[in-house]
């Protein structure tokens, strides 16, 4: 990065600072991960110079012979990896991918059904402050208070009552496996489209660790980072019968030219995700999450749904009388990075909720295993039991930095 250093030393130094932060802390925000050096090289390639409005073989600009091959490779690899009829790799991220599905499958003011944000859903699944809640008629389902899980019988009854045109499955803070087959059957019963948003669990689905929605859903959306370990992009997988309207939902409905450097990096990530090593990585994510959940349970923490099936843990701190924001900020000072989060039936504000959300994709990418989760859980407990003790937090920070030094971060390109 000598050119960047010489051209803009301020931005270069900020990047270097962030590099050091990522090396020295335990990153447990569930949506974050580390990409490979190959993915970063593709993302930073000369393809960022090219404009390619349209689709392969149907572009509006000339000079596309190599760009078309890059996009076709990304599409074919995505289709093969997930077993899909069709793939669109042009969405700029997950939310635009979801917006394209709305454009393709429903009309403004149609009833759309999704998991409520306070119960672990996503903004784009019909939440009131989002476009999906403003331009469509949203109805929200939730989880059972007693179990923290989706009740599929209640979901079916609710769908029959409200008769949605589109049903979303998927979440940002749901620690259990989603029964996509049940969702597909319910959607058929009420003659609705079924869309699955697997942004958080796409890597687990690709590796066969989590059941796949592809056989059951009309459309499947995902980001290409998170557990999939690709660049910051989006993707839509769908059945052949809706492929044309999905493509038109992306372009020209929402976007102009795709980001070709991102498309290339998606192709690289799809190739990496098709390897046996990636399957083992995905399995280890779940093993680590279960081990970390068990460690937190051993210290008396209340986990939503009692544990986890995937990469994510949601901790309800109500019984500790520690607001989630206070806990997350104290943990951050100790180098244990996660986010505060609402829990189902939370009585506190979204800006200072009762819970914290954490996950294991990043720590697994660094090579950490179950025994390392015990260290992390123990240190989390020390900090959350002493959120006002700056000396203890400083001591834990030093211990965390030393611990992290044993696990080099993947894909490191910067020199000293």
CA atoms within 13 A on the CB side of 134: 5
Q: Which residues of 236-246 are buried (b: 16+ CB within 10 A; e: fewer)?
A: bbbbeebbebb
How does 99-117 read in b/e, with b if 16+ C-beta sit within 10 Å?
A: bbbbbbbbeeebbbbbbbb
Mean pLDDT for each 10-residue chunk of the chain (416 residues)? 94 96 97 96 96 96 97 98 98 97 97 96 94 96 97 98 98 97 98 98 98 98 97 97 97 95 98 98 98 98 98 96 96 98 95 96 98 98 97 98 96 56
Rounded to 5 degrees, φ, ψ at 108 are: -50, 140
**Can you give the residue ranges of every domain in the chain?**
40-273, 281-404
**What pLDDT, on the 0 to 100 scale, is given for residue 415?**
43
The predicted structure's pLDDT at residue 321: 85
Measured between alpha carbons, how far is 364 from 103 in angstroms, rounded to an integer?
37
Backbone phi, psi, residue 42, to 5°: -65, -40
What sections of 274-414 are H helices per DSSP?
Answer: 276-298, 324-333, 361-365, 370-384, 390-404
CATH fold, domain 40-273, is 3.40.640
Supply the DSSP string of 32-61, one letter for each residue. Answer: -----HHHHHHHTSGGGG----EETTEESS
CA torsion sign for 280, 42, 233, 235 is: negative
Burial of 410 (0-12, 13-18, 19+ CB in 10 A): middle
The answer to whether 393 and 403 are in contact (CB under 8 A) is no
Residue 412: predicted pLDDT: 75
Q: What is the pTM of this model?
A: 0.95
Alpha-carbon torsion, ordered 251, 89, 65, 259, to 10 deg: 80
The CATH fold of domain 281-404: 3.90.1150
pLDDT at 1: 86
**DSSP category for residue 416:** -
User: Catalytic residues, which ones?
Assistant: 51, 53, 197, 223, 226, 232
Residue 99: which of 91, 110, 87 has the closest Cα? 91
| Structure confidence at residue 416 (pLDDT) | 40
pLDDT at 244: 97
Strand extents, DSSP E, 226-347: 234-238, 302-303, 312-316, 336-337, 339-341
């Amino acid at each position: 990065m000598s050119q960047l250093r010489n051209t803009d030393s301020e931005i270069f130094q900020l990047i270097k600072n962030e590099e050091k932060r990522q090396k020295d802390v335990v990153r447990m925000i569930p949506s974050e991960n580390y990409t490979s050096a190959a993915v970063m090289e593709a993302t930073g390639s000369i393809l960022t110079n090219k404009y390619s409005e349209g689709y392969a073989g149907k572009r509006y600009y000339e000079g596309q012979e190599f760009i078309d091959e890059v996009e076709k490779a990304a599409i074919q690899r995505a289709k093969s990896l997930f077993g899909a009829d069709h793939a669109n790799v042009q969405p700029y991220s997950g939310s635009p991918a979801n917006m394209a599905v709305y454009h393709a499958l429903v009309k403004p003011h149609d009833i759309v059904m999704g998991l409520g944000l306070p119960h672990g859903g996503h903004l784009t699944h019909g939440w009131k402050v989002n476009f999906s809640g403003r331009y469509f008629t949203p109805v929200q389902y939730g989880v059972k208070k007693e179990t923290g899980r989706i009740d599929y019988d209640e979901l079916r009854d609710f769908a029959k009552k409200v008769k949605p045109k589109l049903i979303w499955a998927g979440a940002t803070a749901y620690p259990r496996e989603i029964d996509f087959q049940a969702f597909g059957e319910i959607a058929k019963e009420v003659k609705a489209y079924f869309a699955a948003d697997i942004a958080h669990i796409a890597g687990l689905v690709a590796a066969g660790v989590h059941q796949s929605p592809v056989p059951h859903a009309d459309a499947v959306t995902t980001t290409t980072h998170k557990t999939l370990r690709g660049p910051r992009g989006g993707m839509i997988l769908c059945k052949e019968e809706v492929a044309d309207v999905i493509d038109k939902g992306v372009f020209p409905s929402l976007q102009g030219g795709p980001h070709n450097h991102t498309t290339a990096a998606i192709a690289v990530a799809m190739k990496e995700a098709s390897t046996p090593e990636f399957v083992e990585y995905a399995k280890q994510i779940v093993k680590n999450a279960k081990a970390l959940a068990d460690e937190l349970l051993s210290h008396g923490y209340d986990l939503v749904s009692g544990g986890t099936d995937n990469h994510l843990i949601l901790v309800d701190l109500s019984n500790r009388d520690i607001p989630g924001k206070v806990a997350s900020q104290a943990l951050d000072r100790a180098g244990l990075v996660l986010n505060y989060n609402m829990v189902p039936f939370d009585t506190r504000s979204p800006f200072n909720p009762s819970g914290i959300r954490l996950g294991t994709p990043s720590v697994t990418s660094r090579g950490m295993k179950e025994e390392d989760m015990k260290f992390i859980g123990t240190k989390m407990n020390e900090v959350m039991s002493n959120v006002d003790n700056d000396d203890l937090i400083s001591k834990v920070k030093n211990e965390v930095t030393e611990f992290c030094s044993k696990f080099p971060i993947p894909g490191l390109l910067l020199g000293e």
